[in-house]
Chains A and B, each alone.
Chain A
Amino acid sequence: MWRTVSFVERIEVEFKGNLFNQAMVLGDVDNDQRNELIVGNIDGDLAVFKGSNPVTCRRSSGLGIITCIGVGDICNQGKNNLVCLTAEGTCYLFDIKREGESGLSEEDKVLKAAYKQELPANSKVLLLADIDGQTQLIVGYSDRVIRSFKWQMISSSDGGEPYSTGQIVFVQKWKLAGQTETITINKSSDGRQQVMASQPGGTLVTLLRQTKDGDTHSDLSPNKLDGNTQDQRDTFLLYHPLGLSRAKNRDISTVIVGDINPGKEDLDHQTYYALATLDGTLVLAENDKILWSLQVDHQLFSLSKLDVTGNGQEEVVCCSWDGQTYIVNHSREVVRYLFQENVAAFSGGFYSLTEGGNIPCFVYATFNNTIYIYHDIKLPRVESTNLLQVMDRTPETNQLLAKLNIDPTRTDQLRELYHWCLYGWPTKS
């Protein structure tokens, strides 16, 4: 029997239209160190929500079918941009200014794309990742292709806006066997960042980069890449079967999240990654080794990592279409939360309510034009425990008990002792 909790404190915001799971992200788009919620729908509406304000702080419309959104330093200028991709293939970059003292005018609230470029159509998932010191835009397409792009300055003149002097250039292309639902980065055992993409049936593939060590970025011009043969490109894939005995359905949709902080003191330690399938398998793995797996009878479609307990370890957070949310720690202890509605999109991450900074939040988009931000989700711990166990794990307890001539295995005596310590302790009156 798994522990269940109930979250109550939430912000309710209105956002009309259908949206993709990849088109709802938490990130700091205006570079004020406080995260915002950015959502885009298939009608081309883009909205930014900030703080506890239930009204959109900035919005844009008529962009196309927004399939995925990312927040990152795409132009390598030391600040975050908002990247928005549509099914038609348009890539929008937004440069969002910080909110001034006087607040936003009505004009400021309408977002205008700082840069726009046509890329291949039918994108469904994007990842902004820092690869070898430069941010790359890695996009998964519905034709089982993944392409990576980067920002390139055309002229080196440092006057004027970078958006008028640069462009997005193609870097590399991978052709995969199955549909990719999510792309993630993960730190491998050699301490390098690797890009992973989910594959059907609870498997994943590592996307190997074409550049050799020592190659400079200028070598990655599109022209040079075009000269490569198809076969060569295919070898830049490394499939991981991840022997999931439970994965009965080889075509089942799978999502992945990597770079899960194991909370170990060694900072160079490789990170964990987690996979979830639509038939209810959730797996935590490290370097092709399954740490644990669990099976639920709900359709898991969205996967996040979030340190819910504040202990330095990032928990795996997984949500199903019917709102069942699982928070699982690294020792496979589970807390459930049932969101009472069907979920169109889910995201677990950090969001800033007030001046207090970013706090862990769960964001649920429903099919009723409403998005709920749950901001009071911090739990002291994932597992169920009681005072006896917590005291038992404290080394000092046994010394003190020995001093008091109490047998630490006598739970009835401990119970009585702790009860008296907490409630019968003589206080000054």
Chain B
Amino acid sequence: MSSDRSWRWTDAHYCGLTSQTNIYGMTRITNVNGTNRLLVASLKGDVVSVEYKKIQNKLKPCSRAVQFTYIPADAEIVSIDIMNKCDPGSGLVVGITFIRLQGDDNKPTGQFLNLYFSFEENSEEVKQDIMAKTIELSFVPYQLTHTLLVHNNDNKESIFLLCGSDNKIHMYKDEADNNFLEENPIEYFPEFKDCDSSTLRLVIKYTDNYTKRLTAMGFQSGTVKFSLVDVQNNVILKSWCSAHGNPITSIVIFNPQNQVPCPSFIESSQENGGIDEERTLIYHLLVTSALMPAVVYRNVLVEGLEDCLTLPNSEKYDSPLCSCVVDIDFDGQNEILIGTYGQELLAYKYTQNDAGSTLKQTEDFIPDIKKRLKFKTLMEESETLNLKKLKSSLESVASSASQSHSNESSPDRNCKKEGFELLWTRSFAYPVVGVDSIDIMGDGMEDLAVVTLKGLHILQPNLSEVAKVCLERLRILADTGSEVGDAYLELQNESLEGEMGNISN
């Protein structure tokens, strides 16, 4: 019902930056009251915070510069990250990496990680300069991110991870009282071992109530490494690699379908009101690289990095630099957004059409497989042979290009055209270096945050149209919800909710 609506995303707000930013320049934090906030760091050391506030019952965008001390004037910020510490009340930690260039004076040059702590639980602002710690780095920093350490007694601890030019990932752990120290991460993250080049992108996602961990790493050399780790025993269960031959710019682990539990206060008697449990186990991996089209590896836990679909023409707008997965048309299916250096934001939608143009699609696909993707399966070498066989005939490539979730060979598989289609493009005034979906308005709808070299855009669809969709569904809910709720369904919802709550990154 919503698919025939054209969703035009327009600027809800734009916030200019004083100097340019980069692909590691945007981070986000959820305030205590549930609203979200974005922080964007620019090269010359300015960090701007953007959020929405209600002033006199009117929603106002609120962007202001946040001052971080101990960043020298001649430093250039590389990356920024912000995290909540796990112990309640211990507040936020902001990490900023920067490179100090050779100044006129004789101050030391080099690379540093600054950590800023703020202790207030209900801090509306990032408290400035409450306490800061500077760590000198012996390598050039790249992405700064954070994740949780799960200890055996189910205690969780927030830690910073910093990718470095020394082909290592560095871990900073709070030893005591905000005394963050570097520790060897291999002890906790066995998948970080043996990196062949610098990690440009690191994504970590916990599943199954923090017993499993999915780690995706994209390297400068073009390798993508995806690992499934048993958290309790700290062993790698499975690991896959694929070579793209050019630097990996972004990686996203995502579910093809949106999964939002039904709110507990809704007595829904909707069929399928809950979430298909099997769906939650399907993970796709989106990989963008600097020179090649973006690729989606489907159902990676089952298929490894074998079943892949390319996003057509995603390399035609200069390098894809960033990506994001979000449902932009409210049909329950996730779409893919890619930001490019060519100042475009590309939206792709997964489609399954009956089409006669399958062959043409296949022809387009062959060079992609042949030239661009050299599969290197660690676990199952035989798959490579399989692939060669597939290449041998056009038809079999067609089946691989449109390989469905399982290997069932239905007779009509060649009549089905499935793949990603370019839904729309939107131009920006500068190269797009970051894109994220975030409910910054505090209304339950995901807005888009797009960072270009010179500023941050918050994009919103036409809210009147969104409200129509929402009303349509509320009407259905109100009509059917008046019946006595199905006890079984409620139970199912509850159990799913529990499960959903445990999936976090």
Contacts and interface: CB of A to CB of B under 8 A. Distances in A.
Contact of B443 (A400, A401, A404, A415): A415
Contacts of B466: 387, 390, 422
A424 B262 contact: yes
Interface stretch (B9-17, B18-26, B127-135): B9-17
A67 B282 CA distance: 68
Contacts of A416: 263, 444
Interface residues of A, number: 49
B463 A387 contact: yes
| Most-contacted residue by chain A among B332, B333, B474, B482 (CB, 10 A) | B474
A423 B34 contact: no
B474 A397 contact: yes
B445 interface: yes
Nearest to A427: B332
Interface residues of B, number: 65
A426 B270 contact: yes
Interface string B105-145: 00000000000000000000000000000000000000000
A193 to B, nearest CB: 35
B471 A415 contact: no
| Most-contacted residue by chain A among B34, B273, B470 (CB, 10 A) | B470
A313 to B, nearest CB: 15
| Most-contacted residue by chain B among A333, A378, A379, A422 (CB, 10 A) | A422
Contacts of A414: 443-444
A382 B457 CA distance: 16
Interface in A1-29: 1, 3-6, 8-9
Contacts of A6: 11, 14, 428-429, 455, 457
B389 interface: no
A292 interface: no
B427 interface: yes
Given A386-B441, A418-B444, A4 B332 contact: no
Interface in B420-464: 427-429, 439, 441-446, 455, 457, 460, 462-464
Contacts of B442: 386, 388, 411, 415
Contacts of A413: 263, 265
B439 A419 contact: yes
Contact of B260 (A4, A390, A423): A423
Contact of B469 (A385, A415, A422): A422
A391 interface: yes
B455 A420 contact: no
B445 A425 contact: no
Given A416-B263, A423-B260, A400 B478 contact: yes
A154 interface: no
A5 B13 contact: yes
B157 interface: no
A417 B443 CA distance: 10
A403 interface: yes
A248 to B, nearest CB: 27
A412 interface: yes
A412 B259 CA distance: 19
A386 B443 contact: yes
17 contacts: A5-B10, A5-B11, A8-B429, A379-B10, A380-B462, A380-B464, A383-B59, A384-B13, A386-B59, A387-B445, A391-B470, A391-B471, A403-B482, A420-B444, A422-B330, A424-B332, A426-B272
Given A6-B429, A418-B445, 10 more contacts: A401-B474, A404-B474, A415-B442, A417-B265, A420-B266, A422-B330, A422-B445, A424-B262, A426-B271, A427-B333
